[in-house]
Structure 1
């Protein structure tokens, strides 16, 4: 199954960065395995500044999820009502660009759109 294979490759690629990737990976994996989203939609929403909720209490937030988007300074992950971790925005962007590259390698027909979303994501947060 290609979807599971790409996720395994994604986890390996994330792990090789030395960045704090676990919560982002778990959220991406859960959204796909549970059928809540696919990666092209996930990264498209992210490129617009919108986080994602896998289920009630299992989500992450980006600037457009905040009451004051200008106060956004890190990507926060939540389980229940508790923030489990947060990562610097540049680390998040780096991880999402890696995810786009890995996804594009496994699904070349969808690669252009995913890579465009990754570029928009980088452009959006390069100002922060």
Structure 2
């Protein structure tokens, strides 16, 4: 099944970066497995600065989830009511771009839209966080 194959390839691709990818990967995998969202919707929302709640207490936040979006400085992951980790925004953007490329390889019909969302995501955070 392509759904499982793309997630396995995604995990391999994330692991090869040397970045702290585990919480992002777990969130993507859980969201898809639980039918909470699909990857095109996930990255589209991210490109608008909106995180995702997979279930009660299992979520991540982006700038539009904050009361004061200008205070946003890193991507935070939560399990329960406790922050489990955070990821520098440039690392998050890099991982999401990788995810978009992996997904578009497995699902070329959705590839254009996913890659455009990845470009919007990069643009959204490039002024403040990327060099």
Q: So what's the TM-score if we normalise by structure 2?
A: 0.97
C-alpha distance in structure 1 between counterparts of 2:78 and 2:30, whole Å:
14
> 1:51 — aligned with what?
51
> 1:32 — aligned with what?
32
C-alpha distance in structure 2 between counterparts of 1:57 and 1:127, whole Å:
31
**What do you get for the CA RMSD once the two structures are aligned?**
0.3
Matched residue SS, 1:127: helix
> 2:110 — aligned with what?
110
Matched residue SS, 2:35: coil
C-alpha distance in structure 1 between counterparts of 2:54 and 2:37, whole Å:
8
**5+ residue gaps, structure 2:** none
Q: So what's the TM-score if we normalise by structure 1?
A: 0.99
**5+ residue gaps, structure 1:** none
C-alpha distance in structure 2 between counterparts of 1:56 and 1:78, whole Å:
10
> 2:12 — aligned with what?
12
